[in-house]
Amino acid sequence: MSPRRVRLRPVTCRSRFAAIHDAAVSRTRRRHRHRHRLLKPHTSPAAGSGSKASSTETNGLEELPEDIIHHIHSLLPIQDAAHAACVSRRFRRSWRSYSSLILSERTLGLDRKTEEWKTHLIDKVDKILTNHYHNGVKVKTLKLDIGPCRDIKASYLDRWLRIIKPGIQEFSLLLPLVVNKIYSFPCSVLSNEAAASSIQSLSLFGCAFHPTSILGRLRRLKSLSLRYVHVTEDGLGHLLSKSSALEWLEIEACSGIICLKIPCTLQQLKFLSVQKCEMVKVVEIDAPRLCSFRYCGTPVIYVRNSSQLKNVDISPVNLSGILSYARFSLPSIAQNVESLTLLAGRIENANTPMLPSKLPHLKNLKISLIKPWSSPNYDVFSLVSFLDASPALESFVLRVEQDAMMHDPVVGDDTEYRRQNLECRNNSLRKVMITGFCSAKSLVELTVHILERTHSLERFTLDITYGYDRRTCNIAKFPTARMIGQCWSLSKRALEEAHRAVETADRYIKGRVPSSVQFEVLGPCPRCHIGK
């Protein structure tokens, strides 16, 4: 007997609205019945037998209180909320006070195939915000994504920003990067103390922002994101001085700052990200509760009160010397770091120096080596310096980009792949993964060293294919992802090297693996690589 076919209906705006509506109606009816039982006077059955209830019960929206209507409406995405307002008078009244506005081509349901979709986007946003402004609606969330509209006029933006009033909690503005004249965000909209003190999240993209002393006190601001924003050091200083409750700060590709100072007044700051700010030469941090620091730029960093700094991610904007810098400086600027991610530069030093300084709390280490501009000459075995400095290290991931190392021919006996007189040992390291493993001699030596000097090792993975663990599917959660996910492509030369790497692993490494270690070599995928 063939299995019964079940036809699944797509979830539409109407079905989502109906589900929310029905649940709310049912909840309200139960509440009213319970309230009726509590208020009804006690009578005997005989007394009530001759009377008949004459009350009638209405169905649908009419029996719902106004606050329930507003609550249902607030749960709908803006496009569905607007559709509901078109078919119901009660939702139409609710729409006039709809407080969460997320306006973009996607949320407004615009089709890019039409020739005038950008004009329609501006017109719709203008109509919605104008109506809300004239109706005196207190907007709590306003997110404007006008990135595709390169010809947007400043007068429109100025008019839209009038909606920022006391009670607003979240504001986001995304503008196009390529424009004739960059838009200057008016600091005056945040000069109102009531409006400034209510905002909790502020995000700006693709504009200029020059805060002054007239800026209101941002007492509740917890999240601040400035991306592709022109802001001066003085302007940023004014902004941060007004944001004592800030917990999350993201600065990306911002011009106008040479020395970035994070003052001690940011007592609640826990996360700081500084990315692609090419003008920044020095970063000074004095945030006592900072937990996570992500930095891409010139590696000149000064950190005070770094006892809470546990997660560090550093990559250089000019891609040079980051491994040596990190090994030399991190023990002093982040002595309690537990998770460290480093991206080595295209002009990396020949090796990482062995230093007496330690990273005593480091548990997770990730290092990526990218293809250098000149001939590869980095001695990857010198990464032993990090292992030696990290007695508490539990996990080590090394990613080697294609052509980041010189591939040596597989010749000689196994003594060629062992370096002598190194007593570095680690009794905590449990998991090691090397992606982009190749026949480079120093890489084989590093692998052999870890296997012979780490007695706590539980799992060791050599990935020949440059990112086996970063496929479309998560192998940790879905073991069958190896046959489902899409592998990274390999050129013919890379595929030849992959086979040499597998041969190298079999000949010089496999025999050294202790029986207690789960060892795996991830070679070319039979589905994605073999035969191509």
Query: pLDDT by residue (tens digit) across 88-104?
Result: 666 656 555 667 888 88
For residue 509 the two structure tokens come to 């490494």
The pLDDT of residue 336: 94
- The Cα-based distances of 385 to 77, 363, 388, 393, 423 in angstroms read 53, 15, 5, 12, 12
Q: Per the domain annotation, does 460 fall within a domain?
A: yes
Helix or strand or coil: residue 492?
Answer: helix
Give dist(CA 235, CA 215) in Å, integer. Answer: 10
- Taking the C-alpha atoms of residue 374 and residue 378, their distance in angstroms, rounded to an integer, is 11
The answer to whether residue 97 is domain-embedded is no
Please indicate, yes or no, if residue 360 is contained in any of the structural domains.
Answer: yes
The parent domain of residue 517 ranges over 333-532
Residue whose tokens read 């209507």: 69
What pLDDT sits at residue 356?
85
Under 8 Å between Cβ of 392 and 428? yes
Low-confidence ranges of the chain (pLDDT < 50): 1-15, 28, 31-32, 34-59, 472-484, 532
Question: Cβ contacts of residue 507 below 8 Å, gap of 6+?
Answer: 410, 414
Identify whether 477 is part of a domain: yes
Residue 434, domain member (yes or no): yes
Q: What is the pTM of this model?
A: 0.79
The answer as to whether 140 is a domain residue is: no
Tell me the two tokens of residue 210. Answer: 């020059």
DSSP 8-state class, residue 67: H
Tell me the β-bridge partners of 293.
Answer: 272, 312
On whether residue 124 sits in a domain, the answer given is no
Those residues whose C-beta lies under 8 Å from the C-beta of residue 44, and which sit 6 or more positions away, are none
Cα separation, 42 vs 63, in Å, equals 26
User: What's the pLDDT at 237?
Assistant: 95
- Asked if residue 346 is part of any domain, the answer here is yes
Which position has the token pair 């030399």?
328
The total number of structural domains that make up the chain: 1
Predicted confidence at residue 13, as pLDDT, reads 46
Work out the burial of residue 367: count CB atoms within 10 Å of its CB; fewer than 13 is exposed, 13-18 middle, 19 or more buried: buried
Q: DSSP letters along 332-366, please?
A: HH-TT--EEEEEE-TB--SSPPP-S---TT--EEE
